[in-house]
Chains A and B, each alone.
Chain A
Amino acid sequence: GAVVSQHPSRVICKSGTSVKIECRSLDFQATTMFWYRQFPKQSLMLMATSNEGSKATYEQGVEKDKFLINHASLTLSTLTVTSAHPEDSSFYICSVTTGPLDGYTFGSGTRLTVV
């Protein structure tokens, strides 16, 4: 599988500010990346599928204008949480798949705390 780097691992921001999370595929040119959100002691919920060079595909109920996804290159996808509020506090994880038979590799996650 791919090697995935996610940054930052932790971030604390003030309510109303924006935060950018980066997901890098270090050894694979990823046309598709996935962004998940995980609340404490809960499962991972897919937020959106990030497609290189085109618009992301958001899951139902996910606000496109709040969670901006940019996949401008084959090795980098970013998730920007805009005008963050305390309810956006969560663990965000990205994932890369190198093909239908290879499975999915996950980043180490970003713990976002909005105060």
Chain B
Amino acid sequence: AQSVTQPDIHITVSEGASLELRCNYSYGATPYLFWYVQSPGQGLQLLLKYFSGDTLVQGIKGFEAEFKRSQSSFNLRKPSVHWSDAAEYFCAVGGNTGFQKLVFGTGTRLLVSP
């Protein structure tokens, strides 16, 4: 069964500092991987996704993620965090054989300090 682990429940980063959010997945075949961001009381916004090809994926708002098959990881990074990046971040994995469900990690809450 597919699963996603986000080991960090909370992360606090100073504004302007770099960010890395960890995500490890378990999936029996080639996974589709996603990062979403959720502001309080809101739905989810897609930051980026990986299906195949270049393992370094660029997303919106200056985020990027790197797929590492050998480590079963898909970590999210941003070189310089802005106060508006404070939110909940979810990593998710889905199948590549059609309209399959997404399985989410438990999320990482990002706090940005001045």
Interface residues, chain A, with chain B CB atoms under 8 Å away: 1, 6, 31-32, 34, 41-46, 49, 91, 93, 95, 97, 99-101, 103-109, 111
Contacts and interface: CB of A to CB of B under 8 A. Distances in A.
Contact of A108 (B43, B51, B100): B43
A87 to B, nearest CB: 20
Interface in B21-60: 32, 34, 36, 41-46, 49, 51
Interface in B57-114: 90, 94-107, 109
A1 B44 contact: no
A53 B104 CA distance: 27
B102 A95 contact: yes
Given A49-B101, A95-B102, A100-B32, A106 B94 contact: no
A101 B102 CA distance: 13
A106 B101 contact: no
Which 4 residue pairs of A and B lie closest in terms of their CB atoms, listed nearest first?
A108-B43, A106-B44, A32-B99, A106-B43
